[in-house]
Structure 1
Amino acid sequence: MRGRVFLWCAGGVLVTALAAGGVWWNWFRAPYALADSPGVDVTVRAERSRYPDVRETAEDVDTLVRVYVQRLGAGDAEGLTRLAAPSYRGAEAAAADTVHTYGKAASGHVEVTVLEGVVDYLNPIRVTFEKTGQQQELLLVKDDGHWWLALGEGDPAGGA
């Protein structure tokens, strides 16, 4: 009898652990990641600010901006489109234009400065491409717990 109770409890713990792992995998894991190549040379830093949340945001958006620079340097407009905020439309054309304008510049060192945002779900960044001296201002949008690019046309506060 004790053996059955133990197995039943162990089975319950295993099911709970698997459910928790599934929630983490789908909810907290970013829906984008760096590919194996090409390599990127990106520095992400927070603008000097009296507000600590600027540094926290810089840490939060680090992966997104590295993936952005990687897809840009690879000329991967389709990959950039997948980084667009869910509520944005016309991301395909905007991504193609971005690759055309900044793609070659992304193969060198890139400095990304996270600027002070007005609200906690919108944050501007400045991307400086050292290879060409070009600068780009981008808006990042937080939706469903993840940061996205404001790429195309849309309401940044609209949500999905």
Structure 2
Amino acid sequence: MKSLVCTSFGTSSSMVIEERPKTLPRPGYTLIKMHAATINQLSGQIRRSLFNKAKAPLVLSNDGAGTVEDSDLFQPGTRVAIYGGGQLGVTEDGLQQEYVSVKDSHVFELPDTISLDEGAALPINYVTAYQALTRVGRIEAGQMVLISGVAGAVGHALIQLAPLCSGN
């Protein structure tokens, strides 16, 4: 399978397409044929060597979407989005490859109303917003939420999620 590999970090980072063995199915993981992977600020920071936990060579991208090839949790052909958290594309190979094996807890089924392209872009903004509201802000039913900086993608996600999380 083809993988886009960052072979060195820094101001002169280098990336190459490598042929690698196809990932094998394993318990607790979902094997996914990738459709799209995000390129976001985190990947840029890693390429510039601004994130000290990442080590080259590394396949970047920690959010994306694709279709299930093999899983104990999902039927083959299920369209899914992937949220890589702090591992995929950071401390372990990420999603810029044809096939990936992802922990089941980092995969969620996409509804028919969301395309694979849209699904690839959802996790980074909506999971970040959800965690900001629930884990960091710990909002409760009936509370009001002030959102500053709503012009960006996370801000838009906060506007949509805050009423759901606070019950307003």
Normalised by the length of structure 2, the TM-score is: 0.28
Structure whose residues are more often helix by fraction? 1
Q: Which has the larger radius of gyration?
A: 1
Normalised by the length of structure 1, the TM-score is: 0.29
